[in-house]
């Protein structure tokens, strides 16, 4: 390319950027504002096959209940067979019999693939995949063992990859499906005592962003992706925490989180931050000076304490 052609290309690029910044972007902001007042039509999930990992307790159990109530066929996966069976029996007692339980270790690709075949044979094609399984050891990075770090990445990251490899190809072939993955506020901002967990949840964020971009390229794509970034949830993962102002930063309940995830999925929401007010804090960290961010972090603490040698008065009730 000659110098003249390079100048022309650069000029075209700059003009296009100006056009996008001052015309296209404001237009879409205005469109989004107008859409706030337009009633949206939710997707029906009646008859869909919803597979939920980590369904034995917490958010996963509440999601299984919500989707069963709404008329979906629910498939519960959990490595803890006893807890998973309890979820299925709990829903059966409520009158929801279209619920199936499988003991699955999502870190084991062969186990995932074999269980996926059984689900397809016995239940049908999974059309909604909710990757919820995860663990959260919380102590200093220097106190994490190699085994702990590997286990965090195996469950919180590779578990997503293996389930996606098991179910996403069929969704693509049928051009019908939805993937929901649980990241965390720790997938948006760093936190004390959570370094490996931070890394795993940032990885989930990147995975879902990439999948969205890839599938967006397909003509008339109808496979959707939703990433969820919840604040502290009372599921037992977090053993102890400290809040400077507890009234401002309340621990979320699994029932609330499950309800909001369901709403995000039926409206094809790409990203869900819970509570929504936390979006302000996350976005401010990107534009505030470091000293301002440090001041806010130190004076408005939402801190997970080390789970090693916890004093009783610092423990959270499960």
Is there a domain that residue 295 lies in? no
Give the bridge partners for 51, in sequence order.
75, 129
Is there a domain that residue 300 lies in? no
Model pLDDT for residues 91-107, shown as the tens digit of each residue: 999 999 999 999 999 99
Nearest to 72 by CA among 109, 127, 31: 127
Is there a domain that residue 17 lies in? no
Phi, psi of 107 (to 5 degrees): -80, -15
Nearest to 42 by CA among 265, 270, 276, 274: 265
What pLDDT is recorded for position 243?
Answer: 82
Task: Please give the Cα distance from 220 to 82 (Å, whole number).
Answer: 42
Is there a domain that residue 63 lies in? yes
Note whether 105 and 74 are within 8 A (CB).
Answer: no
Strands 128-131 vs 49-53: parallel, antiparallel or unpaired: parallel
Is residue 197 among the annotated active site residues? Answer: yes
Is there a domain that residue 243 lies in? no
What pLDDT is recorded for position 315?
Answer: 38
Please tell me the pTM assigned to this model: 0.90
* CATH assignment at residue 269: 3.40.50.720
In a 13 Å sphere around the CA of 68, the CA atoms on its Cβ side amount to 25
What pLDDT is recorded for position 56?
Answer: 95
Task: Please give the Cα distance from 27 to 22 (Å, whole number).
Answer: 9
Is there a domain that residue 294 lies in? no
Nearest to 249 by CA among 197, 304, 183: 304
- Which residue's entry shows tokens 């007042």? 37
What pLDDT is recorded for position 1?
Answer: 65
Task: Please give the Cα distance from 200 to 194 (Å, whole number).
Answer: 10
Average pLDDT per block of 10 residues along the chain, 318 residues long: 80 84 84 79 91 96 97 97 96 95 97 97 97 93 95 97 98 97 93 94 97 96 97 82 82 94 96 89 83 85 80 41
How many folded domains does the chain comprise?
A: 1
Note whether 316 and 250 are within 8 A (CB).
Answer: no
Is there a domain that residue 185 lies in? yes
Task: Please give the Cα distance from 55 to 161 (Å, whole number).
Answer: 18
Which residues form the domain of 161? 49-236+250-277
- Catalytic residue chosen out of the listed positions 67, 96, 102, 197: 197
Is there a domain that residue 40 lies in? no
What pLDDT is recorded for position 310?
Answer: 63
């Amino acid at each position: 390319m000659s110098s003249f052609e390079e100048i022309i290309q650069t000029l075209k690029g700059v003009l296009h950027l100006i056009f996008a910044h001052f015309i296209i972007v404001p237009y879409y902001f205005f469109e989004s504002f107008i859409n706030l007042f337009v009633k949206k039509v939710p997707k029906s999930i009646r008859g869909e096959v919803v597979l939920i990992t980590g369904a034995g307790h917490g958010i996963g159990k509440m999601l299984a209940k919500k989707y069963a109530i709404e008329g979906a066929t629910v498939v519960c996966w959990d490595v803890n067979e006893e807890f998973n069976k309890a979820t299925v029996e709990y829903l059966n007692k409520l009158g929801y019999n279209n619920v199936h339980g499988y003991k699955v270790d999502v870190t084991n690709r062969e186990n995932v693939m074999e269980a996926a075949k059984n689900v397809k044979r016995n239940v049908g094609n999974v059309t909604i995949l909710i990757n919820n399984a995860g663990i959260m050891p919380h102590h200093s990075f220097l106190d994490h063992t190699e085994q702990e770090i590997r286990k965090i990445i195996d469950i919180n990251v590779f578990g997503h990859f293996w389930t996606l490899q098991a179910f996403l190809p069929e969704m693509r072939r049928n051009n019908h499906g939805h993937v929901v993955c649980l990241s965390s506020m720790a997938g948006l901002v760093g936190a004390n005592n959570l370094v490996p967990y931070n890394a795993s949840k940032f990885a989930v964020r990147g995975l879902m962003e990439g999948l969205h971009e890839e599938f967006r390229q397909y003509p008339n794509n109808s496979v959707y992706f939703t990433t969820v970034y919840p604040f502290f949830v009372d599921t037992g993962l977090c053993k102890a925490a400290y809040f400077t102002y507890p009234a401002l930063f309340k621990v979320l309940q699994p029932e609330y989180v499950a309800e909001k995830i369901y709403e995000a999925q039926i409206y094809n929401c790409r990203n869900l931050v819970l509570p929504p007010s936390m979006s302000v804090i996350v976005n401010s960290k990107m534009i505030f000076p470091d000293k301002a961010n440090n001041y806010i972090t130190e004076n408005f603490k939402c801190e997970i304490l080390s789970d090693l040698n916890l004093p009783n008065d610092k423990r959270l009730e499960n």
